[in-house]
Structure 1
Amino acid sequence: MSAVISPVAKIDHDIPSLFRMLLPPSVRLAEMPPERADPAALSAEEQQQIARAVPKRRMEFAAGRQLARRLLGDMGLEIDALVSDADRVPRWPAPVVGSITHCRSLCAVAVVPRALSLGIGLDVEPAEPMKPELLPHILRESESARLRDWPARWRELGGILTFSAKESLYKSIYPVHRVFLDFQDVELHWSDFEPDGSGLLATFEGDVRVPQATFPGMTRITGQARVAHGHIGTVVVLPPQ
């Protein structure tokens, strides 16, 4: 089956999109609050993967699968189930790469033809400052030092933004090489802080300090971040090979 690009699918038109402006047109996107998901609609295989999960986790998992199935169907890729492997990586159909992210109030899924990207990573977090005691685990000393020069509107969210950006970067490369990275194994450089009307936008570049974890010639990876609608969204879309 071939993956055909068509207009963006988005299930909930009554919620403003957090991620759309961060993604190129070739990437399909769908977003919804997890509370609108229907766990009963999961396949037997998918149900088995969350058999012991708490209700919150079941709703988030169901939302991701509901959105993914819609996007893949729009591309002509009908699937019976989207299950995760032992590393908790979804087994996407061969023609595509994708990413699923969720927090308590938003779930988002992005899918792009494999011919257009080596990998994609999304992460969403509530736009709330991180607990100070967690910061040394997330930020390298050099990142903490540079944080003092950030615009004031961004500074208090520096920790959670760094966490989210590193999560997105990790998601974009991990499915291929399966090399674990600690937060200290990536160093971020931020730029282009600007308002976007309903929130804030920024660009980050991540230096991957474990070369075998990423693709040849791709130890510095660029991504985008947005703060809007009570959420932080970060995105990494790798170029094609």
Structure 2
Amino acid sequence: MDKYHLILNTAPAGYDQYGDNIARGKIDTFEYFSAKVGNSRKMMIYTPPGYSDNQRYNVLYLLHGIGGDETEWYHHGNPQVILDNLYAASKLAPMIVVMPNGRAMPNDRAEGNLFDTDKLQAFEDFESELLHEIIPYIESNYWVQIGRENRALAGLSMGGGQSLNIGLGNLDHFAWIGGFSSAPNTKAPEQLVPNPEETTAKLKLLWLSCGVLDNLKYVSDQTHAYLDRQNVPHIWYEESGGHDWPVWKNDLYHFSQLIFQPFQC
């Protein structure tokens, strides 16, 4: 086993079901105008229990897959339940979670042929919108800390590829990056990390995970192998399951406990 291979227990039973008598955060849909796209777009935002202007919060930008939109995590992943339970157990640093629509095009719904060229291009175009519109919007409208060490970026499948592509390409914006079952939109490892020394110096956490039965596991395998050869610190987590929600919910459970903490892999 290589030095970056992490063995974790699967999230405990009930981790995605509300515990008794715990404080609850809020998760709501917000609309903003996208200059990049040219029309209004939506994102869901989770604010933790007790959110107030008495403190400043970190931000996790959490991305969906090719078949989803800004509601995908909410409808399938229960992020607000998972996070509320972890807050109740004092296992999370204060953060809000932003779930945008990663398909940056006028009709951003997951319909028709999801692999159309323009739809795939829209996932690439999202980088500019995230950096230049969404992040400034969040930092102007929420009580958040501003700085790369206060921003994390993670996602599942297509969103995992986006997170690695955007995060590793913009280390001045993000110090915590996670790819859950990253899809083939992920750039080649040599493109993701052309300067291993710089990446090592700037990152607080680089997380890669995938189910052992996932047909797309080769994408994460090759990224991990390259990082291992280049001695770039990261977490590599192979888990039971395929390309499915039990895997991604489990990833969120573990990843969220590591970010914004006094931790560095």
Give TM-score, length-normalised by structure 2.
0.34
Which of the pair is proportionally richer in strand? 1
Give TM-score, length-normalised by structure 1.
0.36
